[in-house]
Amino acid sequence: MSLPAQPLSPLDGRYQSAVSELGEFLSEAGLNRARVHVEVEWLIYLTDRGFFGSSPLTDAHKAALRALASDFDQASIDAIGAHEARTRHDVKAVEYFVRDALHELGLDAIAELTHFACTSEDINNLSYALIVRDAVTTVWQPKLAAVIDAITALAVEHRAVPMLARTHGQPATPTTMGKELAVFAHRLSRVSAQVQASEYLGKFSGATGTFAAHLAAAPDADWRAISREFVEGLGLDWNPLTTQIESHDWQAELYGRISHANRILHNLATDIWTYISMGYFRQIPVVGATGSSTMPHKINPIRFENAEANLELSSALLDSLAATLVTSRLQRDLTDSSAQRNIGVGFGHSLLALDNIQRGLREIALAEEVLAADLDGNWEVLGEAVQTVIRAEVAAGRSSIEDPYAKLKDLTRGHRIGAADLAEFVSGLDIGDEAKARLLTLTPARYVGLASELVDYLD
């Protein structure tokens, strides 16, 4: 017995609740609603200016036409679907849908101004720019901002909590947990600002970008100015020089930035996962949740693992889109048509990852005693401080010690030392009393430089 029809993508099944907001824009219905919006606004633009003997529509007629987009519903989806079943052309189906409305409103006299002088790509490129812009600004970017805020809050909270750093996985100069988290907030904020500054370009110039049909119909009109005014009136940036298609460079740039953000988030997820495995963060149990089907004690860091996987999927798809969309054979091919229908999938996996990271950050607590014990077990990391102070003393003429680095390497490399070992070594150094006293008061937990103050750069 066959299963009833099921969603093929987990974004439309298991994870649908986490990404459903994107469907408002980056779905077939969202695209068709945007297409209707563009078709209607072009019709109103032409009639407002009396093209070809037309007269401005009444306010009531304009409102009724604009409601085709603002009140777009299942009946609208079905009506366009019925037209497409006959036309086998998605944009032509939208045109017929608008024409149907004109007929019902008694506006058959202006029906031929629907889709006037447009190629399908004139409608499509503007529609994609609108839905991608709205998805980014109303769904994806606010979610990224919420994650940045969550990271920032943890960074501020733990700004002064010292921890052993690890470079190449080995004990290294201590830092603070807050400063390390602040690095991620700072990186993500930079990319977020770049995304916010993105252009959303649109073209509106006919079959091969030459305004040929426009001039044939109205040779005295300033079609370049009309095109620019119309595109910018939709809240988009005008691209004056294209083939049949808008060249999609803005999309490649945007998806590259989103993918960059994904990779920073991936780095965050792997670092938090590692801190959890080291015991630096405790996971807060969720009542009723199961960590392992056989090991009752376990709380798996599933939020961060889920985020990793979805960030990789998102970047793979967005990188592919960025690479594919910038190429179109000669004046037009349709490789972009299928590709762009997956924009929502790329954003969906990124949004799902953001949701998991945001939830995961709420389910961890810093184990300060673990960090403190790790620091206390690695006094050798102070070798850097000791040899640097010696070098300063030599430069100032207060010491004649040769090759301080080598002396500290002999003391610390490849084996552990404790507080007493380091104190004995420092006490025997031929350096100034003030420098010696400063070193004798130093501990791994105090050797964090300006880490806490650096968190202020998040402001």
Task: Kindly list the catalytic residues.
Answer: 168, 292
Task: Please state, in angstroms and rounded to a whole number, the distance separating the CA atoms of residues 165 and 169.
Answer: 9
Burial 413-439 (b: 16+ CB within 10 A, else e): eeeebeeeebeebbeebebbeebbeeb
201, 130 contact by CB (below 8 A): no
Distance of CA 161 to the CA centre of its chain: 29
Query: Burial, 400: exposed, middle or buried (Cβ in 10 Å; 0-12, 13-18, 19+)?
Result: exposed
> Can you point out the beta strands (E) in 298-427?
364-366
Return the closest-CA partner of residue 116 out of 48, 59, 52, 30: 52
**How far is 334 from 265, CA to CA, in rounded Å?**
33
Q: Is 209 left (phi over 0), alpha (psi -120 to 50) or beta?
A: left
What is the Cα–Cα distance from 246 to 121, expressed in whole angstroms? 8
Token reading at 221: 């009109």
Among 365, 363, 373, smallest CA distance to 163 is for: 373
